């Protein structure tokens, strides 16, 4: 199906005001955004327009009842300066999983991909090329009924805006194992990108930051024993010569970077286990001297190397990052595929 997108380009590009060398993550927005609205059971009026404020009713149901979901992805330039996307179909599939769980309408893949491609094309000059930088893409959908009362909205808006970004974590991070608060339960919404998940994580994360940690490691809601994820990343640990990552069991987000890392590692002959991982197992491996690596994986951070893990008051200090075979291999391989410096043998790149 051909999607016809109405285009209204800005007469006042802001690009000349941007200092691309010194961008703080998530603070600079490119010139345009893509928007499509849902009413009467249909997605209507796809358009690209200048990035700017939108008018909302005070009774907007997303604001009161949290029917709001989002995605996070990136565009890069290849070695010839041409724009490209990394596994965008995975993002629309995951967004539609989120939509389903939150009683929101699914967005047809062709509207998502076409809107994304045309938007990135129009703001192609905003894609930074410095190592570790990218054009971050933020698709999101929210309920727009002006109605007070708890029931699924009948009207929705879907928008994508973009922002040039540098690395999310400029240096290895220190994390603390969370044993009081809970991120998700089975049967809840932890496996989708519902906005409320992030609102609920702010106080626990803020408290950890006040203690001097960058992030928390969420543990299961029943026993606070099994590791789940951390911030906006999935977790990996290397014990001996085995790479471990928590299995997707309904409480953690199925990260696209996680899935890609598993594929790269298996392809390189590493032993990868997706299963329940207890903190006890990690602490024992540390005591035996076989905890070789720990890192988070996610679109924003790519590979967030963990410097230390605080568990029950004890700091487990990981080996120096230069010595980490697995996280360095993944960072170089994924980073290389993003910008076509490394062959895209899995067919993950979509050219624009």
Ligand X SMILES: Cc1ncc(COP(=O)(O)O)c(C=O)c1O
Q: Which residues bind ligand X (CB under 6 A)?
A: 72, 229, 232-234, 253, 255-258, 297-299
Q: Which residues contact 274 (CB under 8 A, 6 or more apart)?
A: 245, 246, 247, 248, 262
Cβ-based nearer residue to ligand X, 107 or 253: 253
Closest contact distance (angstroms) between CB of 40 and ligand X is 31
Contact 298, 233 (CB under 8 A): yes
Task: Give the nearer residue to ligand X in terms of CB position, either 34 or 86.
Answer: 86
Altogether, the residues listed in the chain come to a count of: 352
Q: How far apart are CB 247 and ligand X at their closest, in Å?
A: 14
CB 173 within 8 A of CB 297: no
Nearest to 115, CA basis, from 5, 219, 238: 5
- Specify the residue, 154 or 224, whose C-beta has the smaller distance to ligand X: 224
Burial environment of residue 267 by CB neighbours within 10 A (0 to 12, 13 to 18, 19 or more): exposed
CA atoms within 13 A on the CB side of 16: 2
Question: Residue 60 or 235: which CB sits closer to ligand X?
Answer: 235
Which CB atom, from 119 or from 304, has the smaller least distance to ligand X? 304
Collapsed DSSP state (helix, strand, coil) of residue 331: helix
Task: For residue 350, count CB atoms less than 10 angstroms from its CB and return exposed for 0-12, middle for 13-18, buried for 19 or more.
Answer: middle
| Shortest spacing between CB 176 and ligand X, in angstroms | 17
CB of 239 to ligand X, least distance (A): 21
Output 8 or 186, the one with its CB closest to ligand X: 186
Which tokens go with 325?
Answer: 């075979």
Candidates 340, 342, 335; CA nearest to 352 is: 340
Tell me the HSE value of 204 on the side-chain side, using a 13 A CA sphere: 21
Contact status, residue 352 vs residue 120, Cβ threshold 8 Å: yes
Strand partners, 229: 234
CA distance 45 to 119: 15
Smallest separation (angstroms) from ligand X to the CB of 196 = 12
228: left (phi over 0), alpha (psi -120 to 50) or beta: alpha
CB of 46 or CB of 88, closer to ligand X = 88
Vertex 212: Cα angle to 182 and 173 (nearest 5):
80
**Smallest distance, ligand X to C-beta of residue 277, A:** 16
Query: At its nearest, how many Å lie between ligand X and the CB of residue 288?
Result: 29
The least CB distance from residue 298 to ligand X, in Å, is 3
Nearer to ligand X, 46 or 231 (CB): 231
Q: Least distance in Å: CB of 119 to ligand X?
A: 19
Instruction: Considering the complex, state which of residue 118 and residue 233 has its C-beta at the smaller distance from ligand X.
Output: 233
User: Two tokens at 131?
Assistant: 């190592």
Determine phi and psi for 277, rounding to 5 degrees.
Answer: -125, 120
């Amino acid at each position: 199906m051909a999607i016809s997108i109405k285009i209204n380009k800005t007469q006042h590009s802001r690009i000349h005001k941007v200092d691309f060398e010194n961008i703080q993550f998530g603070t600079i927005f490119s010139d345009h955004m893509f928007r499509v609205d849902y009413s009467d059971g249909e997605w209507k009026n796809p358009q690209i327009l200048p990035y700017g404020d939108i008018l909302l009713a005070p009774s907007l149901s997303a604001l009161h009842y949290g029917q709001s979901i989002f995605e996070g992805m990136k565009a890069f330039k290849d070695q010839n300066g041409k724009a490209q996307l990394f596994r965008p179909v995975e993002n629309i599939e995951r967004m539609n999983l989120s939509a389903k769980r939150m009683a929101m309408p699914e967005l047809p893949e062709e509207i998502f991909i076409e809107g994304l491609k045309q938007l990135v094309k129009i703001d192609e000059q905003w894609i930074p090329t410095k190592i570790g930088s990218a054009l971050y893409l933020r698709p999101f959908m929210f309920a727009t009924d002006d109605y007070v009362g708890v029931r699924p909205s009948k009207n929705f808006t879907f928008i994508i805006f973009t922002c040039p970004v540098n690395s999310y974590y400029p240096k290895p991070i220190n994390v603390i194992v969370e044993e009081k608060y809970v991120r998700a339960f089975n049967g809840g919404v932890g496996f989708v990108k519902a906005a409320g998940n992030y609102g609920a994580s702010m106080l626990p994360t803020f408290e950890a930051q006040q203690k001097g940690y960058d992030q928390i490691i969420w543990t299961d809601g029943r026993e606070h024993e099994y590791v789940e994820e951390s911030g906006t990343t999935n977790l990996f640990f290397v014990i001996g010569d085995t790479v471990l990552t928590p299995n997707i069991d309904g409480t953690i987000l199925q990260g696209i970077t996680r899935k890609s890392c598993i594929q790269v590692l298996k392809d390189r002959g590493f032993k990868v286990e997706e299963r329940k991982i207890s903190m006890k197992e990690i602490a024992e491996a540390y005591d035996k001297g076989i905890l070789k690596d720990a890192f988070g994986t996610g679109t924003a951070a790519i590979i967030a190397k963990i410097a230390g893990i605080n568990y029950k008051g004890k700091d487990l200090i990981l080996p120096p990052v230069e010595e980490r075979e697995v996280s360095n291999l993944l960072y170089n391989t994924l980073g290389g595929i993003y910008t076509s410096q490394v062959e895209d043998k899995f067919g993950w790149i979509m050219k624009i």
